[in-house]
Chains A and B, each alone.
Chain A
């Protein structure tokens, strides 16, 4: 058979086969292997996986640390998503203008996106140092925190400290998406509203936001998924500490698998995150009518 006839229009699966093969390795294999693992546990004496039935699943629902990690993740996701969205939209409105300077601003805002998140974590770790950190010093000068207050080593403020890094890195992402959305809006409704003497606040809530709805939905979806999977910042900034104050679900799962060698339990936790994320994301996609 000639190559040409293999790639005929009637055979889309030939074109898709390489992708299907690699996605099977990347999604189906981990999925089924996690299911297999979640009914087993590594036994360090026998150096082998032992069948444990539903023990991991039962254990997970009774594990207070897991629920703590889950709620930390949800708090982290909600706060960061709200702050990034509001800041992102506000900033986009501010720099949605023509001119050389604004073009330069838009380019500069791309910078945070190319810094590896693990490195951003370390930048903020240095800046939030309670003794010598420049950010701590600024917050102290503004009387926002007490002098010498340990931002990252106090269980009350550590999560905020981690969030600062995330917000710094990903607010520009929101700005870029909102700018694109604002750019695509038709001018006429806004001019008409201005002629009718509408206030800015009314235009924002009754015209702009409804018209931006599809774009906002996509931005929240993509950012929300990534926020739920947060790992890098936590790993380098606090390692989940102090105590378990900043331990997110991803970090807890990672620790179970690569520090405690609780492979079965880690797989159970992974499946829980995965199912939660897919259910919530798909519900959101349906509710917000996101299209691809």
Chain B
């Protein structure tokens, strides 16, 4: 009797811990590439290439971070033994400017996107007009444009206006890229606010613009934050437009990372250090808006 009563909760506890173990095992598999990348960023050059690979970093060094973020000359810090990289000049490995470029382009393009999208999202949520449904569909369809199909016409347009390889050009193209996401997402957040609030305020004599600035905007701060973070992250990770529309003058992190690949070899340690430093802030931002993330990733379709 006593044993039968005891085994049941134990069996249940077993099930729970097996499930937890399985979940953590899967997470470990998914985290492994990141662990490896961080570990590469902390290794000496000769420890990156081993046969078989060393799973644990033999000797942790911050050399790559110093070179990439502080611009300390690699020749004075590295011991080049293996088939790793030999860089002629240290200026090519100093990548802090690309991090700053990424921040600048990300923040500026996000602000532009939000300003324009908020107005449009309010109109789409609150006002009905002919072609309302088609308009939303048009906004959605712009997400289907392959970036290559936009890059070439934009290349000619930018060349005409002298925007190739400028911050203005990069900011504009990232802002344009994020409009569909921001409009649809913000509209879904405004849809959450009851219409009665608008109507009551307007009965009391408030104008649309007052309702928008005094009522709607303050009550959707969380939604605006989520939209801002997603726009920023998509600008932060974008590759093709910066690759096609800028040269040496503008360098965001993904493009800068790809320039560590050279004909004489790839500076894996520097590349890993730069991108690990770049991923951390984006991760913190996205965790902060985790609650709204699914809605954002599905363009406001799922709440």
* Chain A 15-53 near chain B by CB (<8 Å), digits 1 or 0: 110110011011101100110010000000000000000
Number of A residues near B (Cβ < 8 Å) is 93
Check A181 against B302 for contact (C-beta < 8 Å): yes
A contacts with B: majority SS: helix
Min distance, Cβ A91 to any Cβ of chain B, angstroms: 6
B contacts with A: majority SS: helix
Check A18 against B149 for contact (C-beta < 8 Å): no
Known: A4-B207, A94-B19, A266-B152. A137 touches B237 (CB 8 A): no
Is residue A12 contacting chain B, with contact meaning CB distance below 8 A? Answer: yes
* Chain B 111-149 near chain A by CB (<8 Å), digits 1 or 0: 000011101101110111100000111111111111111
Complex: A278 Cα to B243 Cα, angstroms: 25
| Range, interface on chain B | 35 or more
Which B residues lie within 8 Å of A114 (CB)?
233, 236-237, 279, 282-283, 285-286
Complex: A168 Cα to B117 Cα, angstroms: 32
Known: A12-B129, A26-B150, A132-B50. A127 touches B36 (CB 8 A): yes
Check B147 against A229 for contact (C-beta < 8 Å): yes
* A90, closest chain B residue (CB): B26
Min distance, Cβ A125 to any Cβ of chain B, angstroms: 8
Check B301 against A274 for contact (C-beta < 8 Å): no
Interface residues of B in 1-56 (CB under 8 A from A): 19-20, 22-24, 26-27, 30-31, 33-34, 36-37, 40, 48-53, 55
Complex: A30 Cα to B157 Cα, angstroms: 9
Min distance, Cβ A97 to any Cβ of chain B, angstroms: 7
Min distance, Cβ B213 to any Cβ of chain A, angstroms: 10
**13 more A-B residue pairs beyond the given contacts A119-B254, A123-B33, A292-B184, with a C-beta to C-beta distance below 8 A:** A15-B127, A22-B179, A27-B142, A94-B22, A109-B27, A116-B239, A122-B258, A122-B271, A137-B51, A222-B143, A228-B146, A235-B240, A250-B146
Interface residues of A, Cβ cutoff 8 Å to B: 3-4, 7-9, 12-13, 15-16, 18-19, 22-23, 25-27, 29-30, 33-34, 37, 91, 94-95, 97, 99, 101-102, 105-120, 122-124, 126-127, 131-134, 137, 168, 171-173, 176-177, 179-181, 215, 218-219, 222, 225, 228-229, 231-232, 235-236, 249-250, 253-254, 257-258, 263, 266-267, 270-271, 273-274, 277-278, 281, 290-292
